[in-house]
Amino acid sequence: MSRFLANLLLGPLIGSLVFLAAFVGVAQPGLDEIQALLTGLPGLLAFGYMVGLFPAFVGAVLMSIVTRLTGSPLLQLLGALPLGALAGWGGVTLLLAGIDELGSFDWWVSPASALAGACALFVTTAIAMRRERSAAQLGS
> What pLDDT is stored for residue 121 in this prediction?
95
pTM of the predicted structure, to 2 decimals = 0.86
Tell me the per-residue pLDDT of 58-92, one tens digit each, with 9 for 90 and over: 999 999 998 889 888 899 999 999 999 999 998 88
Low-confidence spans in the chain with pLDDT less than 70: 1, 100-105, 140
Helices (H), the chain: 2-27, 31-39, 41-69, 73-99, 109-139
Which contacts (CB < 8 Å, 24+ apart) does range 92-99 have? 92/51, 92/52, 92/55, 92/116, 92/117, 95/51, 95/54
